[in-house]
């Protein structure tokens, strides 16, 4: 019998785990300095959590691991973290718990994608969500938090790509213009983009094929249709980010892959040293309608959040030689070498006493290989 791990998954061993724990601990400590509290939601969710929040996304249509339970209800392995947190927020009536909600999370997620560098079918994300701040400070805080994470991990060349999808009035006006433009040029669009015209039309900007064509490069841009209020708010945010020396770039073609994003969106990119890959470390944005979409029925529940891919962070940090200054593996503080079988009982007492005092201690379990232990 030849038993192997499932395609698109990975065993993290020894050196990888040590590096992983360094990243996780640093980011979690930073989250808590910003007063974010940890939340843990189930790996299993009912499919409606995602089918209602992002019905036309590739994640839902193509990439979810789903199955029916014994009662015929459709279950999915969670493919992302925001929708489950909003589901928990609604179900547990957290709007009564506190006006300001600040959560961070970490854990495994699942998508049926073609495995490649930095992309797995089971992957891990660490992220944060900020709810119920009805002004631009929430956007500024989230981006400053991301910048602090990048600085903490010495990823100074990482860039936060930013776009503004506008308020409701902006989007209505732009979508009329954009739809008309695409209808006149639909013979230049691929089959997927023709389908997206009837679903989430903004995702056409995200198409790997059509985004390289003149039909998209010359298309109207939503930034040109921002209302005066949205434009002033956007400029205010950018000025604050510049004041804090946040490394950002305005990308007018940036849209996020999930349908629930509104208003302000962003991605974090990192160009590898050999320049073979511009790695997307993570991303996020505003989701001002998501609580209502999932049945919360609350008014003006604005939210913003982001997630970073742990596997991709590891690639970027290794490419940036972050771990070179660290010991590859943790070492022990004390090693007790037992030379005679009669000494094992006494040695165990000493061993346990040292361990109770947070001293990393080990001893030999056999005497037969004495010279090997001495090495």
CB 111 within 8 A of CB 79: yes
Q: Is residue 38 scored above 90 in pLDDT?
A: yes
Q: What is the pLDDT of residues 325-337, one digit of tens each?
A: 776 666 889 999 9
Q: What is the pLDDT of residues 6-36, one digit of tens each?
A: 999 999 888 889 899 999 999 999 999 999 9
Rg, Å, the chain Cα set: 25
How many Cβ atoms from other residues are within 10 Å of residue 197's Cβ? 16
Does residue 260 have a known ligand-binding role? yes
CB 20 within 8 A of CB 312: no
Rounded to an integer, the average pLDDT of 305-319 is: 95
* Separation of alpha carbons 311 and 9, rounded Å: 11
Does residue 261 have a known ligand-binding role? yes
How many Cβ atoms from other residues are within 10 Å of residue 368's Cβ? 7
pTM, two decimals, is 0.90
Q: Mean of the per-residue pLDDT values for the chain?
A: 89
pLDDT: which is higher, 268 or 14: 268
How many Cβ atoms from other residues are within 10 Å of residue 48's Cβ? 15
N- to C-terminal Cα distance for the chain?
Answer: 37
How many Cβ atoms from other residues are within 10 Å of residue 227's Cβ? 14
Q: What is the pLDDT of residues 43-53, one digit of tens each?
A: 999 999 998 88
CB 51 within 8 A of CB 338: no
Does residue 129 have a known ligand-binding role? yes
Does residue 111 have a known ligand-binding role? yes
CB 266 within 8 A of CB 209: no
The token pair at 294 is 């999932």
pLDDT at residue number 13:
87
* Separation of alpha carbons 18 and 190, rounded Å: 45
The token pair at 284 is 């996020």
Does residue 34 have a known ligand-binding role? no
Taking each helix axis from N to C end, the angle separating 137-152 and 14-33, rounded to the nearest 10 degrees, works out to 140
Rounded to an integer, the average pLDDT of 335-359 is: 93
> Domains, the chain, ranges and CATH?
14-167+227-325 (3.30.930.10), 334-374 (no CATH)
Does residue 229 have a known ligand-binding role? no
pLDDT at residue number 375:
54
């Amino acid at each position: 019998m030849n038993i192997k791990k499932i395609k698109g998954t990975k065993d993290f061993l020894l050196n990888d785990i040590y590096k992983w724990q360094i990243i996780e601990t640093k980011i979690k400590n930073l989250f808590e300095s910003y007063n974010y509290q940890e939340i843990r939601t189930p790996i299993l969710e009912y499919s409606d959590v995602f089918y209602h929040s992002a019905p036309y996304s590739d994640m839902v249509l193509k990439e979810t691991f789903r199955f029916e339970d014994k009662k015929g209800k459709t279950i999915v392995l969670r493919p992302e973290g925001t929708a489950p947190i909003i589901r928990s927020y609604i179900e547990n009536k957290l709007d009564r718990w506190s006006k300001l909600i600040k959560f961070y999370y970490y854990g495994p997620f699942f998508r049926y994608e073609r495995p490649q560098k930095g992309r797995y079918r089971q992957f891990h994300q660490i992220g944060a969500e900020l709810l119920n701040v009805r002004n631009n400070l929430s956007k500024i805080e989230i981006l400053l938090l991301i910048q602090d994470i990048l600085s903490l991990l010495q990823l100074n060349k990482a860039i936060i790509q930013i776009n503004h999808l506008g308020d409701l009035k902006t989007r209505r006006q732009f979508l009329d213009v954009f739809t008309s433009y695409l209808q006149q040029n639909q013979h230049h669009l691929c089959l997927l983009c023709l389908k997206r015209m009837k679903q989430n039309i903004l995702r056409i900007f995200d198409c790997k094929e059509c985004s390289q064509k003149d039909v998209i490069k010359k298309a109207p841009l939503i930034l040109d249709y921002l209302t005066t209020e949205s434009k002033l708010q956007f400029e205010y945010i950018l000025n604050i980010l510049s004041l804090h020396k946040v490394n950002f770039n305005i990308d007018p073609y940036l849209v996020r892959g999930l349908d629930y994003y509104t208003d302000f969106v962003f991605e974090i990119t990192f160009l590898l040293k050999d320049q073979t890959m511009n790695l997307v470390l993570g991303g996020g944005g505003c989701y001002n309608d998501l609580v209502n979409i999932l049945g919360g029925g609350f008014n003006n529940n604005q939210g913003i959040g982001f997630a970073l891919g742990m596997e991709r962070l590891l690639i970027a940090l290794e490419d940036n030689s972050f771990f070179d200054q660290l010991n590859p593996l943790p070492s022990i503080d004390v090693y007790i070498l037992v030379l005679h079988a009669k000494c094992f009982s006494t040695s165990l007492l000493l061993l346990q006493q040292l361990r109770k005092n947070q001293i990393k201690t080990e001893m030999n379990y056999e005497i037969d290989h004495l010279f090997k232990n001495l090495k």
